[in-house]
Structure 1
Amino acid sequence: MNHTPSPMASLYHEGRQTFTELVPDGGARLDALFHTVPALGELAVGVVYGHLHARPGLDPRLREAVSFAAIVASGMVGPPLSVHLKTGLASGLAPGEMTEVLLQASAFAGFPRAVSAAEQLNRLFDESGLASPPAPTPREIALEFCEQVRGGHAPMPVSAAVKRLLKHARQLALQASSAHAVIVECFEDEPSPRALLRLEVQGEQVVSVTLFKAH
């Protein structure tokens, strides 16, 4: 008899491992959720966390943001919302980014579904010990910091090179890479950035600035 695991069983095993790495009580949560219909758990976890989560086309933060928006748009305020709040945070989304995704989704999904999700988030934030409302997003905090430096009012000590780069930049492009880090591209007249900066964000302030590259 062939005892080779089926492709779906292998995906479920991989997906379950990924989920338990993201959610501390993930294994117990999956067992409780799919206790009556374990085959549904094998299918859902295998597809979402075994197959889709491992695809290289999107980084985990963006994939979770898309998932969270789809859940809000679908009006799912039960386990899916709770689960993807946890996996979104574990994948590097900041709480403020999760609420910003909900706000964006409300314009397309409709306010009733968004309000229902917001009501559920009140409870979920409280249960998770998260500040409510959350702090501004890392990108917002980084953008404000850059504008303060460009205006000659740096809120923390920064090097002369960083001040010069930010003040002379014709355009800034900011991209959060995690819940605590933002990459800033500084453009002058060239099509490629003259410098890359990494801003570390803690709470509602930038705590460090690192110059990655300059030419």
Structure 2
Amino acid sequence: MNHHSPSDPMATLYCEGRHTFIDLVPDGGSRLDALFHTAPAMGELAVGVVYGHLHARPGLDPRLREAVSFAAIVASGMVGPPLSVHLKTGLASGLAPGELTEVLLQASAFAGFPRAVSAADQLNRLFADAGLASPPPAPPREVAQAFCGLVREGRPPMPLSEAVKRHLCRAERLALFATSASAVVVECFDGIDTDPQALLHLNVEGETVVSVALFKAH
């Protein structure tokens, strides 16, 4: 690596980005050193921009930022280190394995099937290397949606408080947002109200909702 003065902004970004990457990927330091051994300046630029600058921007949460990155990698046809790296950083940022395969499916409609199939082929190996189930469990939002549907049909798959059942059953519409690989927030709305009447937090393990907490109720 080239030496920089302490005031060099690119060096600062690289240091910050390298620290972020190592936090996300356990073997991140050695992986970066090996990947950019021949072209260390490229490593400084790539790591500084992606993990030093972009990753720290507050406009997108880490899950969404990694989902966008993963989709862009699939769309560009990169099936080498970038796909491997962003599988790891995506998981570390809170994306569930099933969400990553859903992103791949979505990207296939716009990037074309040849690129998506190439990415899917590499994911087979990456999932196996990481010890992930293949195919993965359904994404947490899908699990939560099915759970809410059963409750609204009067067939709750687990004991629930009367307040939780009442809000889920009476709501005219629900809005579901996965916030991590194991958590989904459900907003319960009445009519055209823009303020939810109730806010629920669902914990998901695999393809099962294991707990529900009522955070807000009018």
TM-score when scaled to structure 1? 0.98
- Does 2:114 correspond to 1:109? no
| TM-superposed deviation, 1:145 | 0.3
Superposed, 1:75-114 pairs within 5 Å as 75-114=77-116
What residue in structure 2 maps to residue 206 of structure 1? 209
Structure 1 residue runs of 5 or longer lacking an equivalent are: none
SS of the equivalent of 1:199 reads strand
Please give the secondary structure, in 2, of the residue aligned with 1:155.
coil
CA distance in 2, matches of 1:3, 1:147: 59
- Give 1:108-187 correspondences, 5 Å limit: 108-187=110-189
Q: Helix, strand or coil for the counterpart of 2:164?
A: helix
Q: Displacement, 1:23? A: 0.2
Please give the secondary structure, in 2, of the residue aligned with 1:24: coil
Question: What's the RMSD between the two structures over aligned residues?
Answer: 0.9
Deviation at 1:4, TM superposition (A): 2.6
Corresponding residue for residue 13 of structure 2:
11
Distance in 2, matches of 1:67 and 1:3, equals: 31
2:195 to 185, 192, 196: 192
Task: Give the superposition deviation at 1:192.
Answer: 1.2
User: Counterparts of 1:3 and 1:9 in 2: how far apart (Å)?
Assistant: 8
What is the DSSP-based 3-state SS (H/G/I as helix, E as strand, rest coil) of the residue aligned with 2:115?
A: helix
Runs of 4+ in 1 over 4 A off after TM superposition: none
Contact 2:6–2:12 (8 Å) recurs in 1: no
Q: Which residue number corresponds to residue 27 of structure 1?
A: 29
For the residues of structure 2 that align with 1:94 and 1:82, how far apart are their CA atoms? 15
The more displaced of 189-198 and 93-102 is: 189-198
4-13 or 25-34: bigger deviation: 4-13
Unaligned segments of structure 2, at least 5 residues: none
Q: Please state how far the C-alpha of 1:7 moved relative to its aligned partner.
A: 0.2
